[in-house]
């Protein structure tokens, strides 16, 4: 979502880069429907109806329902990766970089929880070619977190016997926020991000 419009608080306006407006409305409707009903239980008629359009209008912009899911998944994964990479690239110790990366990644999954649920949990609905593209983006995300943890181990800041397994645990912890986060809950995305950053630093045995 690098080309998305900026809101007053600096957050990207979701799907601002999807044009024309009809295509964006259909994509937003698909996100809502997939999150609520699941990909397989959602029909193209459901999506078009939510967008206030006819089923025929959907096919002007998207050839299939899977094409819609693929675009949602690609944009979502690219945005999550961008958020994570930006935080990772900041100056600081491995502990500071890991803390910032986790806070940013968790904040995105909380503030964009509806999108994130679709992006993270509907991967198996994609065909082989589309799935391979998304898996490659997930590997890049894995590489960012594993790189920070490796830096911390080499610097003597982290005590991590299994870097690969710990990377998986960290990412699983962050991503799962999208499954349970509720805007009516008692914690904000920032607060959840701060909590998880502290938990992850404890997980890697960061020296305080």
136-158 pLDDT, tens digit per residue, is: 999 999 999 999 999 999 999 99
Q: What is the DSSP string of 101-168?
A: HHHHHHHHHHHTHHHHHHHHH-GGGS-HHHHHHHHHHHHHHHHHHHHHHHHHHHTT----S-HHHHHH
Listed as ranges, residues in the chain with pLDDT below 70 are: 1-14, 208
- Domain 65-204 CATH assignment equals 1.10.357.10: yes
Distance CA 93, CA 101 (A): 12
Domain 21-61: homologous superfamily in CATH: Homeodomain-like (1.10.10.60)
Task: Tell me how far apart the alpha carbons of residues 81 and 26 are, in angstroms, rounded to a whole number.
Answer: 24
Could you tell me which residues are beta bridge partners of residue 12? 6
- Report the alpha-carbon distance of residue 97 to residue 159 in Å, rounded: 16
* 95 in Cβ contact with 207 (< 8 Å): yes
Count CB neighbours of 99 within 10 A.
22
How do the domains of the chain map onto residue ranges?
Answer: 21-61, 65-204
Report the first-to-last Cα separation within the chain, whole angstroms. Answer: 35
According to DSSP, residue 6 is labeled B
Contact 163, 153 (CB under 8 A): yes
Tokens 């930006």 sit at which residue? 86
**Residue 13's pLDDT is what?**
55
Please give the pLDDT value at position 199.
97
Peptide bond preceding 197: is omega within 30 degrees of 0, i.e. cis? no
């Amino acid at each position: 979502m690098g080309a998305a419009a900026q809101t007053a608080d600096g957050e990207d306006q979701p799907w601002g880069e999807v044009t024309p407006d009809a295509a964006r409305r259909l994509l937003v409707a698909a996100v809502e429907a997939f999150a609520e009903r699941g990909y397989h239980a959602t029909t193209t008629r459901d999506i078009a109806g939510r967008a206030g359009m006819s089923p025929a209008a959907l096919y002007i912009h998207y050839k299939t329902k899977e094409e819609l899911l693929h675009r949602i998944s690609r944009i979502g994964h690219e945005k999550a990766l961008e958020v994570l990479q930006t935080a990772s690239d900041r100056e600081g110790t491995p502990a500071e970089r890991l803390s910032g990366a986790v806070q940013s990644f968790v904040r995105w999954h909380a503030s964009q929880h509806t999108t994130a649920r679709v992006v993270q949990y509907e991967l198996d609905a994609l065909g082989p070619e589309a799935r391979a593209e998304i898996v490659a983006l997930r590997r890049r995300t894995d590489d960012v977190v594993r790189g920070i943890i490796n830096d911390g181990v080499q610097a003597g800041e982290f005590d991590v016997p299994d870097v690969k397994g710990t990377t998986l645990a960290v990412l699983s912890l962050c991503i799962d926020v999208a499954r349970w986060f509720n805007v009516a809950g008692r914690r904000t995305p920032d607060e959840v991000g701060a909590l998880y950053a502290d938990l992850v630093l404890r997980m890697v045995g960061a020296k305080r």
